[in-house]
Each structure stands twice: as C-alpha cells, then as structure tokens.
Structure 1
Amino acid sequence: MTATAEVASPADTPESHRPSRWHVWALVAICVVAGVLYVWAIGSGQIGNAYYSAAAKSMSTSFTNFLFGSFDPAGVVTVDKPPMALWPQAVAVWLFGFHGWAVLLPQVIEGVAAVFLLHRTVRLWADEKVALLAALILALTPITVAINRDNNPDTLLVLLLVAAAYAFTRSVRADGSRKWLLWCAFFLGCGFLTKMLQAWIVVPAFALAYLVGVSTPVKRRILDLLAAAAVLVASSFWWVALHAWWPGSKPYIGGSTDGGAWDLIIGYNGLGRVFGGDGNRGGSGPPPEMEFAGPGGGAMFGGQPGITRMFDASVGGQISWLLPLCLVVLAAVSVAGVLRWRAKAPGNPAERAGWFMWGGWLLVTAAVFSFAQGIFHPYYTTMLAPAVAAISAAGIVMFWRAKSFVRFLLPLTVAITAVWAFVVVSRDTSFHGWTRWATIGVAVVAVVVLLLGLRRVGLVAALVAVLLTPAVWSTATAARASNNGVMPAAGPIDRAGGGFIYRNGQPPPNGMQPPAGMQPPGGMRNRGPMIGGPGGMRGELTDEQKRILKYAKENSGGAEITLAVDGSAQAASPFIMGSDEVVIGMGGFSGSDNAPSVDQLQSWVSEGKLKFVLGGGERGGPRGGRGDHGRQEWIQQHCSTVDPSAYGGSTETLLECHA
C-alpha cells in the first residue's frame, strides 16, 4: 500500500465493518459513560435555561401553545427560536409534571442518541475501531457535556445533523441512493426547525460531498440534489407557512419585528447572526460606558470575531482541544488526494464523500462561527463536535496504521495536541491545572514509544495524551452541576459567563441593562444586576413574588391573565415556572417585541382580561426606552401603583390598570 493510499483510507478491510462482541460492549460502555456525564445530578435544583423551561411548561397547557412554542400560557409571544427542540421537553412536562429533571431528561436522551448514531455513521464510512473512537471523543467533548446537561436547542440540533450524516453516508455507500439522500435533506430541515439557518451551514458540504462521492452520471447527481433541495425546503418551512396561514389566534413570533416567522429567519436568527445589526450585536461589544467582565475582555460572550476565535479564551476550552489535530489530518488527506488525482489512481468515492462531508462540516461551520458579527455564544461550537470526533478518530487510526513516513504524523499530532492543551489549561491553572503537566508527560511517553515502533502501547498512550484534559474538563463540568442554564460552558466557572460593569469597576445602577440579546446569564453571580430574580434559575418564586401573585389573583376579579410582567422574559420566567397562574412577559425575550401591543393591552383591560402589571425592580428589558413600543407610556397613563403594604412588597412595584 502506498503512502497516498494509507493517508486517504481510514478503513482497514471490509471485514473490519463487522463488530465483534467486544466492539458491542465497548459501544455500550461509551454510551453509558456519556449518559452518566449528561445526567449526573441534573435533578439537583437545576432548571436549565429558565426562558426555555418556562416555555416548555406553557407549551404543555394547550395545543396552540405547543405547536408554535409559546413562552407564556396565554399564547401571547413565542420563544425566539422555532419550537422543535422544545417539543420533547413539553411532552415530558405534560407526562411527568414540571420538574428540572423532566425538562432536562430529553436532552440527555438526545445526547446519548447522538453518540450512538455517530458511531453507526462513522462505522459505515470507516470501520468499527474508528467509529468507537469517534463516539468516545464526542462523548468526552467538554462543551457537548455542558450543553447536553442543559435545555438549549443545540443538543437536538447536533442529533439531527448526525442523523443527516448517517442518511448521507448510507446514500453514497449505495452509490447514490436517492431515498437516503432525501432522508438526509429531511433531517437537515428538522434541524432548521430547531435552530433555523444554523442548521443550513453544513448544506454546502453535503452537496459537494454528494457530487464527488457517487459515480452516477452528473445529470443524475444534479437531479438528486434538486430533489433533496425540494425536501429540504418543505421540511424547513412547513412550520413557517403554518404560522402564517393559521386561521385562529396565534402567538407573536418572538424576536421578529412584525410577528412573523420569516422576519425571524432572515433577521435576528439568520443573517443578523452573521452580519450583526440592531438587536444582534455580538463581537462589536457592549455600549461604551459598560464592559463585559468575562472571557474575551471587552468583547461579547464569544470573543472578538476573527480567525482565532475558536482558540481564544472564551471558546478554546470548549471545542479546540483536537482542532489542531483535525487540521493536520485534513491537510494530509488533501495532499494525498491531490497526489492520487495526479497519478490517476483509482479511489473509493464513498470514502472521498465522507472526507468532503466531515471536512466541509468542520471548516465551513468554524469559518461562519469565527467571523460572525452578530450574537455568538461559545456553546454554539457543540455543532462542531461530531465532525471533530469523526476526523480526529479517522486521522489517529490512519496515522497509526501507516507503515511509511506517514506513521510519523501520529507522534507529531500527539505533540501538537498536547502543547495546545498545555496552553489552554495555562490560561487558568486553578481549574485542574495539573492536567497540563500530566498531558505533556503522557505525550512524551507516547511519542517515544511510537518512534521506537511499539505500536499498540504507543496508540494507547497517544489516546490518553489527546483525551486526558478534555475528559477531565468534561467530568468536572458534570460534577459541578452548574445552574448556568443561559450560558452553559465547561471549564473554569469564570469562563462560563460574566457580567456587565462600568469601566471604573462599579456595577450599573438598578434597571440599567445591556441591550437586547446581550444580557448575561441570569441567576449567576454577575457583577451587574441579576436577571430573572432570586431563585428564577431554579423555577422558584421569592416570598415577595408569591405575595404579589396571591394579591393579584385575589383582586383580579376573575381576569384571564393574572399578571403581566413588564420587562424581559427572564423576569416573567419564575412566575410561569413557579405557579399555575396565567402570567405573561411583556416584550418577549429581551422586552423589545411588540407583544402585547398597546392596543392589545387596552383591549384586555377594557374587557376585564387583565388588571395587574408588575413593573420596577432589578430586571432586564427596556424601561420605557428603545424597543418599548409605547407600553411604558401606556402603563404610566392607565395604571396606578398599589400600596406595597397591601401585598408586603419591598423591591417590586405592582400596578393596577384601568380602562
């Protein structure tokens, strides 16, 4: 076998696709490890992202709320994402009642399913050993562990993308099976209904991989891709069309400017994420009088846009551990492919398709994330994890099996990976700083043993060297059982979030918050005011909030809406999660949506459907400023302050409204 062939093929022999008994038990063990990491202590007071958890509870109360993803039980405004990721959570809440574990358990199941399905996918492309290693790498990816213990949409997105990769691999292995290609497009469309255009980032990689990975006539390949495009569009936009044409009452689409899903797709959750813009400020940073006291200095949560973003202080510890290894593998495979093409040597189209798919997935997604000017959070990078796992596993096994000079690539990549782990850990040695020296020590042993030709021992040492630190970070993340549902992250707690402070180091005054989309994680120990109120991240109400809700209920005269909370959705979340009353948040996630509108408020009050509004206090959202749509002015004109002594208030302001 030539050096070119050695690099280009991750598989060994056709028989290597057949699992032995130890392969089966190894996969079971990996899935069990993944499940333990994802499920450990998720019932210890955690509620995930309060915004989505409140929505899951509201969605469990009516079909319309469920279908459109309503944040509040009254069906006023949806979350600022499509609802597919919340559907399993809402079903769990409907079946088991509202508990933290009920909200988070579907995420655990989806995360383990992604590990299992990645194994089946890579096994079709490469072989059993590569597939097992890929599954292990995905299970131990720090940000994947963090996000699978939370209820953000990214967990389901990853599962659906891996499902698409599985269907795609089946298609090219059958030399252009249209049925499986259409299934691939369907799963990508479901990904769109999970996190909109983010799911489409990988579409160019899949399309190109299909063109180069099957041997059918070019016309047939193009027709197949056109058919897949039709399925992709249909499976992506049916929900958008359903909302637009729904004959009855329907909630306002949160995050949009006109209440429709299409605006959300193109704007806030689409091109706005890539190019920035009003309400979608990312690396551009906070207002000049404030700064972000967290990773990346004065930048937004994901650091400054640029080619190094995947490696910076905010993101590096989440996903970058094996990125240098992946780049070496892709470079080696590219060189081998060019040499094979120039030599006109025969190749395996299905293998080639796999390299284009996984490599394109990794490179295109990393490029979009790196240069995105809009809102970008480090946990988005869990979308890279399946590609990182597949490429890393295939590369390690290929380099290990090589018998020419290519075999030196394995000790080289082990050394590079260990050095990079040393750099990342050195940024904050208070968090298991010992791993940097342990990794270097094991890497030295691995390099020496590999160079001496002790291949099996060298492979074991190499795997320990490249996976030791990510495994420790993942385990520590699971053991920490963090309540940081808004900004899940692995590693040092200081890197998991932050807060906004004045540049002189003082906290902002009460009521001053970052602009829409730039709020720090609620419930964390921020240097600025806490969003959602005490206990909000645990789905609990404070004693004062309980008294407010009781007073509003007893004096509402049977109003359909017990309480409307003026401010961001984070302020209303505790009331929705901690009670069975109909409570709405005015203005959606950031408080800037035109829902409810002033006319709707006026109609509710006139018809006796709403009597009390909760305003004031330290909560997010506009306070009669940008994006208020006149609600604050209407409240000032039509609502009067209730004497705090009537409900035992001290920090919250309850208002009674009149027509």
Structure 2
Amino acid sequence: MTAVVTPEAAPSALVPSRRRPPWVRPVLAALLVATAALYLWGLGASGWANAFYSAAAQAGSLSWKALFFGSSDAANGITVDKTPAALWVMSLSARLFGVSSWSVLVPQALMGVGSTWLMYATVRRTSGSAAGLIAGAVLTLTPAAALIFRFNNPDALLVLLLVAAAYCTVRAIEKAGPKWLVLAGTAVGFGFLAKMLQATLVLPAFALAYLVAARTSLGKRLLHLLAGLAAVVVSAGWYLAVVALWPAADRPYIGGSQNNSLLELTLGYNGFGRITGDETGSVGGGSVGGPGGGSGGGWGSTGLFRLFGSEMAGGIAWLLPAAVLAFGAGVWFTRRAPRTDPGRGALLIWGGWLVITAAVFSFMGGIIHPYYTIALAPAIAALVGTAVVQLWRLRTDPVAAGLLSGGLALTTVTTFVLLRQEPSWQPWLAPCMLVAGLCSAVGLFFVNQFNRAFARSLAVAGMVTLLAGTGAYSVATAATPHTGAIPSAGPASGRNFGGMGGGMRGGPGGGGPAGGLLGTTLPGSNLTALLKAGADGYTWVAATVGSNNAAGYQLGSGQPVLAVGGFNGTDPYPTLEQFEQWVRNGTIHYFLGDGMTMPGGRSSGSDLAQQIADWVADHYEPTTVDGVVVYDLTR
C-alpha cells in the first residue's frame, strides 16, 4: 500500500522522506554485495547453461554479422528464435574476455545486481528507503531470479530493462513531462529486442499510472503518452525494419519463422501464438484451457491457480499471495487520495504489472516455461516492500495491524505448502517456518501494545520469517547447477528438462548422443578432432538436425555447425535443393546424427529437416565416432 497525501499539503508523517538516513548506504551496499555473491558464487558449475544461446554467443564473438542478427553459427546459416539483444551482451563479453561459460554467464549475474539496485531506487522514490531495501531483498531472494540471473536466457536482460522502465515512469509522473516517458518507452523497446512481445505486457500499467497521476492537463498527458509510445516503436522497430530491408540472400534465415520473416516470428510463434496455442513450428503444446483451469496440453493446465501449480510455484509463489493482499490494501488506503498522489501512481505501476502479467501467464495456451515467472518478481517485490513499511507506519490502526499480521500469516502458510512439495529437502524447515511465522503474525497484530524495543524485535522476526522460505529456496537454487533449455528453480538438479547429456542414439532420423530437442552434449575427443581437421576448408564443418545438437558440436569444436531446421527441426531451412547444392560445392564436411526427441510430437511446421536426413542416409555410408553417427559428405 502507499501513503496518502494531497499535493497542496505539507508532507505528513506518513509520507516517506527523500532524505536518506545514514544507515541506508551501508545496508544498500551490503544488499548489493550479498546479491552479487548469491548470483556469482559457483557460477561455473552450470557450464554452458543453455548451450543454444552460448553457441550463438560464440558465433557472435567470431562474426559481427552473426552478432547483429543473433546467428546460431558464425557462418550465418540461421538465427536463434528470438531477437538478439541478450546475445549482443553475451557476444561482446565473449569478444572481450574469450569464449567461456564465465564470459557468457557473468553478464547475467551483473544484470541481477543492477536489477536489485534499480528496484531499490524506484521504490525509494515513492515509499522511502526502507521499502526500497525490502523490495530489493525480495527481488534478490525470489527463486526464479536466483535461477535466471545465473543463467543465459534472455529473461535476465528483459527484467533489468523493465525495472529501468518502471523507474523512468515514476520519474515521469513526478516531472509530468515527456522526457522520462520517452526513456521508459526506449527501455521497453529494447526489452522487446530481448524477448519480443512479452516486454509490452507492462505498457498498459505504465500508461494508466501516468494518465491518472501526472500533474498536468489531460491533453498533455495524452500527448506525453503518445511520445512514450513512439519511443517504444522506434527503439524496437528500427531492428525489425533493418532485418526486413536487408536482402534475404545476404543474411541468415530467421529461426522460428516459416517464411524467413522477423515480423512473422514476432506476431506468430513468439507472439499471439503463445496466447492462443496456435504456434506454427512448435513441438508439443496443446489446446487452450478455460478460466476454471482447463488443459494447456503439453504446457500444463491453465486457470486462476496455474502459478500455484507444481510447475510454477517454486519459482514465484512464495510472496505472491502477500503481493495480491498488498495491492488490495493499497487500493483501499488510497481510495480518497487526490488524483495526483504519487503513491497511487506507483501502486498502479506495480499492481497493473502484476495483474496483467499474471493473467497472461495463467491463461496463455501456447509455450510457457516455469522460469518465465521471473517477469512477476519486480512487481511482487515492490508491492511487498511498500506494504510492509507503510503498514508498519500505520500499525496503530487496527485494520493496518490486521493486514500486516494477515500478510505474514498468509506468507507463512504459502511457504509451508511449498516446502512440503520438497519433502526430501530440509524436512525440518517447513514445520519450523510454520510455528515461527504464525507466532510472529500474532505478535504483529498486537504490536502496538508493546514497548518500542520489543516492537522492533517483532518487526525483525517478522521480516526474517517473511523472507526465510523464499531465501532458503533461492540459495538452494543457486547451489544447483542448471543446464538445458528449460531450467527450474529449486534444489533438485534432476528437475532440469533437456540438460547436457541427454539424448538418444541412431541415424539421421534418430540421432546420436547429442541431447536431442532440448538438451546438448559436447562431442568426445575423437569427434572433436575429426571436426577440427581441415575445418578452414569448409563453411560448416558439420550439419545436424536441431539447434541444441548443433550447439554441442559447435561449442566442442569451436567451428560453425549448421542447425538444419532450426531449434525444433521444423523450420523450412535449408531446402533439400540448397543442401544438395552445398554438398556438391563442398560447403559442408559432415552430417551428424541428430538425436532429436519430440515430446508431444510435431504439431506443425516443415519436414525439410527429415527430408535432408533421409537423403543423407540414402546417399552416404555411416561411420560411428564417439557414439555419434557420422556421414562424410565429401565422399
């Protein structure tokens, strides 16, 4: 909740001061150091993490064109299935420090530290330093954040840019001018270049907050919002325009699309297809569920409680009920506030962010993975941090004391339920948390009856209880190596889906020990030596079906490997005729067994990859090297 103040009145005791007490700086420094330690500690244990993006970063470190387009390989055959802003960061790091798991993963950890600092800075402006520090701590100790800020998926950059956009929106409301709105729009636009349309989910909340709370006329507010929208379009659209105008023959194929179009990828496979479930080229998935909790096919059940299901809950649900309660309390306590109350503006930013993003994640029928929920973490952190401090200031009010106590009790019960889902991990923690949390909640309800020293002790105990469950789970997440395309928060490394080392063996239609659709295995020493031998004489040292398979061979050999069919093996690239011509020209040295596994089966897309694999099997003799089926295309 937020403080209520009229614009004409002098600040009351309930309105946070912008002046920082002397204890704030050292506490903030300690928070940032602890965040860095959590996100950097043992980072190398995850190896290449998501090898799909690591291989693209390697390609970008060797070729500026590959860096610009986000190509999977330095020979610029096909791109990853996202816009490449996150790859720009990783590729530049690899250029500066060499290609290694650390040069790929450390930028993500630093983005996490930056997100925590921006979280503090944003919440502080409307709710005070204490609220900002709590919000920063909540963000740091969200398990989905501890997962993604130690991983190399695009979500880390997305979160950093969206928190920066929220900060700019708060400043825009303060100044009632277009400059900060343009900066907010620019941050969202570059968020689009990290993860496409997901970045735009926050725009309705930001626009509503400015429209309601900015201290200027309605006409100027609308004009300022148009300027902010123009900034979004320009900062995102320039890249779409460049790719569209660039001759297709002189750039890589746009991975994830069926027509070599970035706009199609934006609106289809990575756009509205995620909502409807109609994703051409997707593998798995299923029908859209109804509001009551219908089937989401291969992507889990949809409905109001999806975020509390086993797939999602461990990463984000710990403080989600408390954040919803905080939002409701904020709406109630600001119901009589003037239009321009800055606290209400902040409430609309964070509450709107939470409601819209949670609703989309709960009911979308297309591809969704548990780690997507990191996009909810900033909103939860801001709402909880603000509510804790403001309710504490209002604790003489029985309603505020009840909400403070009830929020802690609700979090305690949620924590107990979530910890019980991991019965083999720290089994003592759940009952201890339940007892301590409920006792602290009762004490907080009567906190106004105690002296100041005891009241402060209760407040500290309440904060420890509030963060203990999510904090312990975050530390366990950081201590667990995560690899593959779909990492999950939590202590059990076996929950990773598609990690390094999975896969099946066989010929072009059935693979080799490379990890298949979602996993990657590095080649053995003999195969690595084979791929490196004479590599300078070929555009691609090898081709294989699927990007994760290609990534393993490419990272192991350091040479370009063509991902036939893109990520899922369902992209119509290359055509059989193109492939045959490249073979005749001596462009590709080897074809490697693809190791593809298709959970849920192909739902749509091209079968050109299968045609190519069959053609290779019909025309070339296989050999086996380190368990991988190898076809020498030069014989």
Q: Taking structure 1 as the reference length, what is the TM-score of the superposition?
A: 0.86
Q: C-alpha root-mean-square deviation of aligned residues, in Å?
A: 3.3
| Corresponding residue number in structure 1 for 2:441 | 447
CA distance in 1, matches of 2:464, 2:507: 48
1:399 to 368, 391, 403: 391
Distance 1:576 1:374, change over 3 A: same
CA-CA distance at 1:123 after TM superposition: 0.8
Q: Bigger shift: 70-79 or 440-449?
A: 440-449
CA distance in 2, matches of 1:414, 1:621: 41
CA-CA distance at 1:224 after TM superposition: 0.8
Distance 1:331 1:303, change over 3 A: same
What are the within-5 Å matches in structure 2 for residues 505-520 of structure 1?
none
CA-CA distance at 1:655 after TM superposition: 2.1
CA distance in 1, matches of 2:196, 2:126: 28
For the 8 Å contact 2:61–2:99, the answer to whether it is kept is: no
| Corresponding residue number in structure 2 for 1:420 | 414
CA distance in 2, matches of 1:625, 1:325: 39
What are the within-5 Å matches in structure 2 for residues 1-400 of structure 1?
16-44=17-45, 46-174=47-175, 176-247=176-247, 249-277=250-278, 278-280=280-282, 284=286, 303-338=300-335, 340=336, 346=338, 348-400=340-392
| Corresponding residue number in structure 2 for 1:653 | 629
CA-CA distance at 1:456 after TM superposition: 1.4
- Tell me the amino acid that sits aligned with residue 111 of structure 1: G
Distance 1:276 1:3, change over 3 A: closer
| Per-residue Cα deviation, 1:234-289 (whole angstroms, up to 9, x for no partner) | 11111111111124710111101111100000101000111111444776389xxx
CA-CA distance at 1:583 after TM superposition: 1.7
For the 8 Å contact 2:50–2:484, the answer to whether it is kept is: yes
- Tell me the amino acid that sits aligned with residue 411 of structure 2: T
What is the aligned residue count? 610
Asked whether 1:541 is paired with 2:523, we answer: yes
Q: Bigger shift: 103-112 or 629-638?
A: 629-638
CA-CA distance at 1:559 after TM superposition: 2.7
CA-CA distance at 1:37 after TM superposition: 0.9
CA-CA distance at 1:401 after TM superposition: 1.3
CA distance in 1, matches of 2:198, 2:414: 28
For the 8 Å contact 2:82–2:194, the answer to whether it is kept is: yes
Distance 1:574 1:21, change over 3 A: same
Distance 1:22 1:512, change over 3 A: farther
- Tell me the amino acid that sits aligned with residue 309 of structure 1: R
Q: Bigger shift: 182-191 or 593-602?
A: 593-602
Distance 1:494 1:312, change over 3 A: farther
Secondary structure of the residue that 2:43 maps to in structure 1? Answer: coil
What are the within-5 Å matches in structure 2 for residues 553-632 of structure 1?
553-554=533-534, 558-565=537-544, 567-615=545-593, 617=595, 627-632=605-610
For the 8 Å contact 1:317–1:424, the answer to whether it is kept is: yes
For the 8 Å contact 2:46–2:483, the answer to whether it is kept is: no
Distance 1:512 1:147, change over 3 A: farther
CA distance in 2, matches of 1:156, 1:198: 12
| Per-residue Cα deviation, 1:373-403 (whole angstroms, up to 9, x for no partner) | 0000010010111110000011111211112
Q: Bigger shift: 402-411 or 217-226?
A: 402-411
* Identity value in percent: 37
CA-CA distance at 1:158 after TM superposition: 0.3
CA-CA distance at 1:26 after TM superposition: 0.5
| Per-residue Cα deviation, 1:26-48 (whole angstroms, up to 9, x for no partner) | 11111111111111111235111
CA-CA distance at 1:497 after TM superposition: 3.6
| Corresponding residue number in structure 2 for 1:473 | 473
CA distance in 2, matches of 1:625, 1:95: 41
For the 8 Å contact 1:71–1:77, the answer to whether it is kept is: yes
CA distance in 2, matches of 1:484, 1:34: 21
CA-CA distance at 1:477 after TM superposition: 1.4
| Per-residue Cα deviation, 1:286-337 (whole angstroms, up to 9, x for no partner) | 9xxxxxxxxx999767531111011111111111111111111111222233
For the 8 Å contact 2:56–2:71, the answer to whether it is kept is: yes
For the 8 Å contact 2:76–2:252, the answer to whether it is kept is: yes
Secondary structure of the residue that 1:60 maps to in structure 2? Answer: helix
Secondary structure of the residue that 1:321 maps to in structure 2? Answer: coil
- Tell me the amino acid that sits aligned with residue 397 of structure 2: S
Asked whether 1:640 is paired with 2:619, we answer: yes
For the 8 Å contact 1:48–1:150, the answer to whether it is kept is: yes
CA distance in 2, matches of 1:332, 1:413: 10
CA-CA distance at 1:636 after TM superposition: 4.1
CA-CA distance at 1:78 after TM superposition: 0.4
Distance 1:476 1:11, change over 3 A: farther
- Tell me the amino acid that sits aligned with residue 642 of structure 1: E
Distance 1:499 1:148, change over 3 A: closer
- Tell me the amino acid that sits aligned with residue 318 of structure 2: W
CA-CA distance at 1:370 after TM superposition: 0.5
CA distance in 2, matches of 1:422, 1:177: 46
For the 8 Å contact 2:517–2:548, the answer to whether it is kept is: no
- Tell me the amino acid that sits aligned with residue 234 of structure 2: A
CA distance in 1, matches of 2:486, 2:427: 23
- Tell me the amino acid that sits aligned with residue 582 of structure 1: P
CA-CA distance at 1:532 after TM superposition: 4.4
CA distance in 2, matches of 1:40, 1:253: 36
CA distance in 1, matches of 2:472, 2:229: 42
| Per-residue Cα deviation, 1:517-544 (whole angstroms, up to 9, x for no partner) | xxxxx96xxxxx78545xx2xxx32235
CA distance in 1, matches of 2:294, 2:357: 24
CA distance in 2, matches of 1:563, 1:346: 66
- Tell me the amino acid that sits aligned with residue 549 of structure 1: L
| Per-residue Cα deviation, 1:424-462 (whole angstroms, up to 9, x for no partner) | 111221122322112112213312332143431221111
Distance 1:467 1:15, change over 3 A: closer
Distance 1:24 1:282, change over 3 A: farther
For the 8 Å contact 1:37–1:478, the answer to whether it is kept is: yes
Distance 1:511 1:460, change over 3 A: farther
For the 8 Å contact 2:16–2:126, the answer to whether it is kept is: no
Distance 1:631 1:223, change over 3 A: same
Structure 1: stretches of 5+ with no match in the other structure = 287-295, 501-506, 515-521, 524-528
For the 8 Å contact 1:447–1:458, the answer to whether it is kept is: no
For the 8 Å contact 1:157–1:191, the answer to whether it is kept is: yes
Distance 1:67 1:509, change over 3 A: closer
CA distance in 1, matches of 2:498, 2:559: 32
CA distance in 1, matches of 2:517, 2:191: 32
CA distance in 1, matches of 2:574, 2:498: 29
Q: Taking structure 2 as the reference length, what is the TM-score of the superposition?
A: 0.89
